[in-house]
Structure 1
Amino acid sequence: MKLLTNAQKLLLLLRRQRSSRTTTVQAHDPSAAGQPALTSAQLDELEKNVELRHHRNNVPLIRKLIEASVRGDRSVEQQLEEELGQLPNATHPRLLDYGDQPRELAQHVQREMPLKPKEFSELARALNLYRMDHLGNYTGHKSYYLTGHLATLEQAIIQYALQSVTKHGFRLISVPDILPKEVIESCGMRTEGERTQVYKLDTGECLSGTSEMALAGFFANKVLPEEELPLKVTAVSRCYRAETSGLQEEKGIYRVHQFTKVEMFAICTPTQSEAELEEFKNIEVDLFKQLGINFRLLDMPPCELGSPAYQKYDIEAWMPGRQMWGEISSCSNCTDYQAKRLAVKYLRASDGQVQHAHTINGTATAIPRLLIALLESYQKGDSVEIPTVLRPFMDGQEFIARSKRIPETKLVKFIKAA
């Protein structure tokens, strides 16, 4: 952690000196400002971490830029700042020998699977609850409609998740879907480049990929009393991802451009963050136990961690219609990665010093994939049983049968004039 802290301090120094016009040589001389510079050995460790996580950071370039900066070349400062800002978080020591495979920590088998399960799209179409075909002309690729009781089921899942997490002390916040790109990048998601998942608007702002970003931005540039930590909040929002996939197993609503998610987010002290991550994980496990689906808990290897994550747990549900495990939830400890970029701090009670906080995030429910797991697992012939915990949010309804209220839509290629 100290190594990444030095890199982050160097990044903060660059930002300060760009505004205060102090010289680059002074800023990178440890004896001049009492601030650490990155040594060659430390850069070697950073490069090992980048390789371990399969990231594409250019550490050799960072070496050259640091050398030029120390020599007093101010023209490289912005490029160096950008390169340092793209480095991933440190990696939890527990994960260092995982290789490229996750560790399965638990598998929860709670119900027998149907003998001849239908895949979600086939089942939802048969019940007239869903439409994804022929939408390209006016809603774009990877769009969908949920209708009838399937739309009601979506709302029931949201209310169930909110009721569950608020019992654990999470406070509900309604968040914006449009954010400055600086907030999104500070949270660890790139907004530039060929492989970005971010939708950019003509104004220069972006559509939020998850409410984690808006929740983190809400606390930017704030100093919180230590007595208030951990501070836990939750939000329901639409999430926008400019990603696509041609994989057969990810067809239908498994990977889409917009979906609804209930997100959990916490700000805490460094000594609280690992315990908070365990609480997030336990909340998620209990949510899916109550829903009665078959799922497994995974401890993810370094190569599966996004830039902000120090460690991460994934939950995958068994989707019998697809005969595959599909990710439905995750939670991550981002330590001070996001907090330093957004200046989220707390006032330490013991000595009154201001310190950077740690942030934790987790998915309570991501609707489309959870709908796949529920419908494929609970199908019974020509109907779908509703999980017991969701029935209070659907007026006690126990089954979903074919809907006849929503008219079926068909593609008309030609209309002959009378």
Structure 2
Amino acid sequence: MKGLLPPPGAVRLLSIGGLVRTTGFGIMTSISVLYFTRSVGLSAAQVGIGLTIAGGCGIAASVISGRVADAVGARNTAITLVLIQSLAVCGYAFVTSFTGFVIAVSVVLSCHSAAEAARGALVAGLIPAEGRVRARAYLHSVTNAGLSIGAVSGGVALQADTQGVYVGLILACGALFASSGLLYMLLPQVEPVAAPSGRGSWEVWRDRPFLLFAGLNAILAANDTVLVVVLPIWIAQQTEAPLAVFSVVLIFNTLMVVLFQVRASKTTSDIPGGARAMRRSGVLFAVCFALWAFASGQPAWLAVVALLAGAVVHTLGELLWGAGAWTLAYEMAPDHAQGQYQGVFTMSTQLETMVMPVAGTMLILPAGSLGWLLFALLLLVAGLAAPAVARRHTNRHTNRQGTPSWN
């Protein structure tokens, strides 16, 4: 249990704040669709369109907030964004039209994505380089725990299905977000780092190795939506396994990430180590998707075995992908531009939330097992390409001491 608790100081405060904020986000996610369709009277199509627009705004906001964090400091940026998000969430209670819904949800999701980028820069500003990935691992663990607690709490409260309960939960979410922002005020101030002369305002967009890494990360990040969106439909429509097996897969995945993400972060300590972890994650994701493809057409017992085996392999891949991606995101970024680099990294991680629900349901599922295998090949190639991209970065930075090991 000792290894599960964040160390005292900045990491623990960030983790507590993250747990509070993601619990609120989990509650909000679990109730918002039903609230806007059943209480506000929006159609499912309107809610879907509004969430898509908001998702696009969030992706753009993550990059902008990173640049702001570089200019004015990551701590103040994160606090401001979380407090604005808390007010916008409370604004859900006053939405009466589609336009109001789009505005409110766009502000909420924009602040959520932007705060993620600012928090990444905040970790870089508060934590020494050798401890940043471990800090992100703690934050990822509490994120999974918070989202699960929030989702369960929201699901229980939904049994009442009344407008009063919905509004009460919305206001509670706003209070949780505000509390998270206030906790961040206990953290030390992070002053902006002066950029060397001759550097432009948007340095990250001229860093081709980092942009290539972000592209590979966007592909590997698709594993998440495949797990939560594509897999349950595949189990229900194309396998003989009971749908309840999906709940087992999700619970197992959540518990393993909470318990072992910090331990997995110990496997990466530099750019070569991060690249190797991403390479291995691509291999594991490919094996996982092949197992899930195999489940189709098999007897129920064999389908269950294949699905659960795939879940184990997927979780191992997710643990390595997270540790490897965080390592490269921090180590490839210059100290004076951590905000904008973490913003682009956050954007790459979240891009799949807009693309994959459509790609998964319209490309992977209709193609059946072949769709799974082609997607497995895509993630395999992305993982295998990571060391080459990372090596290209190190070759451009000859001022680094020592020769990294790429074995």
Larger radius of gyration: 1
More helix by share: 2
TM surpasses 0.5: no
Q: TM-score with structure 1 length normalisation?
A: 0.29
More strand by share: 1
